[in-house]
Structure 1
């Protein structure tokens, strides 16, 4: 699956980037957002992609006054149109930002989803918010991040107060799921390694068969090709998750430390996660009713450190991406998000 040929955008000024039909088909379009190249922080990455429906905003007149900006996780991309529909039915226009070197913006990149400083993504987040607010005219914006995108979202909200009105987190990656020894000494070793060999692949001790071509049990539990209900492009969200490299993992751990010391986000935050952390070697059935990627306990422990106004919602039998859970858990997650938004933002 590849993007459609470019056609000129109707926008004007420095953000008049190309607007093309998206891989999801009508009414979805993809907007190319050029970014400054950074050989040190994100070598080989020169653009991000903003995905939305073509009716979202024309001539500064939005279809909905409110909007949500979704940020994907590692080794992932936006395809969850049912998530977008839930927001649309609640009165929120939906935008998905695919960060430089990632997902749609990572097609053809030699090391997709691998940057050495996560704050390099600030540029494309700022550009996306400019499109949403200034060009399309949305007055209220909610940041919605999944997994690594959740970490990205809370760091943005802490660094840029009042640029969004709320933050919704879907199983955010707020700590390293490993022993205390690995979180301390292992992090220090990877940090040292990253200075000399940032592209070195760091093995996942919880998944020793990764790299041997064995599909992740998480993917097998969700994708129609195996035992799941979802169909997505395995080139963009592969069966074997993309490796974590030393530079990327060091960048993530740097932000984990900031979370640990407290972020002080003043806007309301909703943190959603499963009720259960899956076992180290789960069966497909266990992977369909628990989080087999991250630790639920770590998310709960870190939640109070995000800011003074944090609501936690746990979803029984939720999977790592709660929007891909089985029907009952998925419905509970979507209802919890939309009800919280109505209560907090009207």
Structure 2
């Protein structure tokens, strides 16, 4: 990690965020890429008590940071809460860009490096990286590629995207072929197989309890480009090849996966996006201090599950932090 270089050339100015209620944001200017201008957005809500501990949250695919309740819960136990809207997502999306268009997950290293340096510069001596779904895959790979760092001290993975939720033939043959094609035709689009029913289980306009931007997190994301498939496939292979992580890591997932083509209440009681057996299997491949929890009746984003379930998630995470993460001084 090129510590001390990125931050030196960045001005950090926080402005009020769309979430209000103490949330602020700073736009991080990044290097131009194959689509032109690139930015990321760092969102912050500080604990009301003086603290030198922080969470850095990374969202998933077809997503952005909107989980204000989660931030406040971490604030209550004395953590300053930060979140990234990655390049080409949410607050960071530009009209000249394709949503979620990357060709390697290492492209996100630039905003992750910058974010953890900013967090440390703001007097946080203990930093835990937390990622949901694709964000979980991103932070796990980031940790594996930045061993012996003094900028983060633990990893929380919320239903990480460690494998495509497909049948055996498509996973073992179809995805590798698409990944190869993605090297040569990164902008070719294919079906994402992303179900709108998961979004229905979340949003207040349908069957859920959460209010968020459907422009930034639509119910359906019908297509993705082959470059994205290749980026995910390569990062997943790192997990399967026994990625080494040298800080404590906890992986949380639902106890069951949910399938169906029509809405039913079962979509509020299981993971409608990923196969939880895959998450469990590949979490065991990681070499390091790995803890794995299955959450009964949890949905894909466990922190958005129904209240009794998400209270269990918070308790498991907070207890794990108390047992495994020591304050760095």
TM-score when scaled to structure 2? 0.91
**Mapping of residues 63-142 of structure 1, within 5 Å:** 63-134=50-121, 136-142=122-128
| Paired position in structure 2 for 1:148 | 134
Q: Cα gap change, 1:35/1:56 in structure 2, threshold over 3 Å: closer, same or farther?
A: farther
**Mapping of residues 87-236 of structure 1, within 5 Å:** 87-134=74-121, 136-161=122-147, 162=149, 163-204=151-192, 206=193, 216-236=196-216
Q: Cα gap change, 1:16/1:76 in structure 2, threshold over 3 Å: closer, same or farther?
A: same
| Paired position in structure 2 for 1:277 | 257
The separation in 2 between residues aligned to 1:282 and 1:186, in whole angstroms, is 26
The separation in 1 between residues aligned to 2:24 and 2:175, in whole angstroms, is 40
SS of the counterpart of 2:191?
Answer: coil
Q: Unaligned 5+ residue runs, structure 2?
A: 1-6
SS of the counterpart of 1:183?
Answer: helix
TM superposition shift of 1:18: 4.1
Q: For residues 267-321 of structure 1, what are the alpha-carbon distances to aligned partners after superposition, in whole Å with 9 as ceiling and x for unaligned?
A: 1111011000112436331110000100100010011222221111111110000
Q: Cα gap change, 1:274/1:109 in structure 2, threshold over 3 Å: closer, same or farther?
A: farther
1:46 equivalent to 2:38? Answer yes
SS of the counterpart of 1:137?
Answer: coil
Structure 2 residue corresponding to 1:314, chosen from 267, 272, 294? 294
| Paired position in structure 2 for 1:28 | 23
Q: Cα gap change, 1:164/1:227 in structure 2, threshold over 3 Å: closer, same or farther?
A: same
SS of the counterpart of 1:294?
Answer: coil
The separation in 1 between residues aligned to 2:161 and 2:145, in whole angstroms, is 18
Is contact 1:282-1:292 (8 Å) kept?
no
| Paired position in structure 2 for 1:9 | none
Is contact 1:77-1:237 (8 Å) kept?
yes
| Paired position in structure 2 for 1:3 | none
The separation in 1 between residues aligned to 2:66 and 2:261, in whole angstroms, is 27
TM superposition shift of 1:14: 1.7
TM-score when scaled to structure 1? 0.87
SS of the counterpart of 1:37?
Answer: strand
Q: For residues 201-258 of structure 1, what are the alpha-carbon distances to aligned partners after superposition, in whole Å with 9 as ceiling and x for unaligned?
A: 2224x55xx7xxxxx0011111111111111111111121363211001110011111
Q: Cα gap change, 1:109/1:315 in structure 2, threshold over 3 Å: closer, same or farther?
A: farther
Is contact 2:47-2:76 (8 Å) kept?
no
Q: For residues 114-169 of structure 1, what are the alpha-carbon distances to aligned partners after superposition, in whole Å with 9 as ceiling and x for unaligned?
A: 211110110110000010002x0100000000000000000011111233111001
The separation in 2 between residues aligned to 1:48 and 1:293, in whole angstroms, is 26
Length, aligned pairs only = 318
| Paired position in structure 2 for 1:241 | 221
TM superposition shift of 1:17: 4.0
Is contact 2:47-2:75 (8 Å) kept?
no
Please, which moves more after superposition, 13-22 or 24-33?
Answer: 13-22
Q: Cα gap change, 1:317/1:107 in structure 2, threshold over 3 Å: closer, same or farther?
A: farther
| Paired position in structure 2 for 1:262 | 242
